[in-house]
Amino acid sequence: MSRTIQTHFVLAEFGRPEIGLTFTPEQCDLECAFSGELGWQSNGGPHRGHPARSLPFSMEAKIDPDNGPLLRLHVLGVFALHAARDEESLGTLGASIQLNNSRDTVFRQDLLNGRHYKDARDLTPLDQVNGDGTSLKTVGFSMVGGSPVRVDLINIDVPPDVTVESIRFKDLGSPASFIVFDFVLEHALAKGCPFHVHSGGISLGEIGSSIRIGDRVKFSKALEQMEAAVLATEDLDEARGEAAPEKCIGHCWRARANWKRLVRSRASPRLSGDAPRTSLLRYSKRFRGRHRISSIEPSRWWRGTTPRTSRTRV
């Protein structure tokens, strides 16, 4: 039985111009929110002196590796201006999308005229699978220089087991000019402890503080988080690994409750009500120094009983 990979979407950040075109698709297959900010436009133009010839050739977007393995890259933009047959021939290598780590390029996808982009002023909607791990689909229309243009979404499959730290979009000097609105990164949910600081839920460090202050709401959410992680797995060994911290958390919570009950049973009646908190702390310190918990049965904590203590002097 195949297991469905759970994914989440993240928008990559990159430098944007002060003036330009904005676009947000009304309907899209991706379950994510687009930025709606100004799009970046690359160099281009059919002849020397064209205004697009003064635009930059490349830009770079950073990726947070803690978001999990990168499965697919979705690029929202206008692909491309000045790409008609009388301006640029079919098969021209117009741009390149490079995935880099700290040392070199781990993956590169070249964009070819007629396959990965077409003249954006041709308003015929596109929906094609190219057979090289990419697909192209029209998601809306916009206006550039008073003329309507087509806005497409390029989907690129990323090879497995590659570490990506940045995305570089590079125009290769052809007449085609590309407008990029958003880089949408589709990450696989990283496997591991559901209490990891980057898991999106309650981290393991917060559980200790919630036990100390008696925050039952946060502690209940942590137990629900653990239960959801166990139910989500289909592997028995993995489920055992996920369930191991739950028993430790339950022991900690019941140990805290039993310790408070033990101290309360030994405390003086004069410390009840609005007595200073320092007096109770001072008494509990004396009690901990005078007695040692020598034998504890964790199985009894699940039934809410008080652990046995020995009267041995320390």
Task: Map out the domains of the chain as residue ranges.
Answer: 7-188, 204-301
Q: Phi, psi (5° rounding) for residue 79?
A: -130, 95
Q: Which of 86-90, 94-98, 108-112, 257-261 has the lowest mean pLDDT?
A: 257-261
Residue 194: Cβ within 10 Å count: 20
> What CA–CA distances, in Å, run from 185 to 31, 55, 100, 242?
12, 25, 14, 28
- What is the edge-to-edge ordering of all strands in the sheet holding 105-112? 13-14, 58-62, 166-171, 93-100, 105-112
Instruction: Give the side-chain half-sphere CA count within 13 A for 210.
Output: 18
pLDDT, mean of residues 96-117: 95
Cα–Cα distance measured from residue 94 to residue 83, given in angstroms and rounded to the nearest whole number: 9
% of residues, the chain, pLDDT over 90: 49
Residue 204: Cβ within 10 Å count: 16
pLDDT, mean of residues 203-212: 75
Cα–Cα distance measured from residue 98 to residue 105, given in angstroms and rounded to the nearest whole number: 7
pLDDT, mean of residues 178-205: 75
Length of the chain: 314
pLDDT at 276 exceeding the cut of 50: no
Answer with the residue of higher pLDDT: 233 or 50.
50
Q: Which of 117-121, 141-145, 181-185, 197-201 has the lowest mean pLDDT?
A: 197-201
Q: Angle at CA 161, nearest 5°, toward 160 and 166?
A: 90
Mean pLDDT in the chain? 78
Closest to 64 in 3D by CA, of 188, 164, 182: 164
pLDDT at 128 exceeding the cut of 60: yes
Q: Are 26 and 140 in contact (CB under 8 A)?
A: yes
For 71-105, letters b (16+ CB in 10 Å) and e give: ebbbbbbbbbbbbbeebbeeebebbbbbbbeeeee
Distance of CA 301 to the CA centre of its chain: 38
Answer with the residue of higher pLDDT: 285 or 246.
246
Q: Which of 31-35, 145-149, 268-272 has the lowest mean pLDDT?
A: 268-272
% of residues, the chain, pLDDT over 70: 67
pLDDT at 197 exceeding the cut of 70: no
The domain made up of 7-188 has a fold known as: Jelly Rolls (2.60.120)
The pLDDT, as a whole number, for residue 274 is: 42
The pLDDT, as a whole number, for residue 241 is: 58
Which secondary structure element, helix H or strand E, spans residue 237, and what is its range?
Answer: helix 236-266
Cα–Cα distance measured from residue 116 to residue 154, given in angstroms and rounded to the nearest whole number: 8
Cα–Cα distance measured from residue 28 to residue 25, given in angstroms and rounded to the nearest whole number: 7
pLDDT digits (tens, 9 = 90+) for 30-84: 888 899 999 999 999 999 899 999 999 999 999 987 788 899 999 999 999 999 9
pLDDT, mean of residues 281-287: 45
The pLDDT, as a whole number, for residue 139 is: 95
Answer with the residue of higher pLDDT: 155 or 189.
155
pLDDT at 307 exceeding the cut of 60: no
pLDDT digits (tens, 9 = 90+) for 156-187: 999 988 889 999 999 999 999 999 999 999 99
| Class of residue 221 by CB neighbours under 10 A (exposed 0-12, middle 13-18, buried 19+) | middle
The pLDDT, as a whole number, for residue 31 is: 80
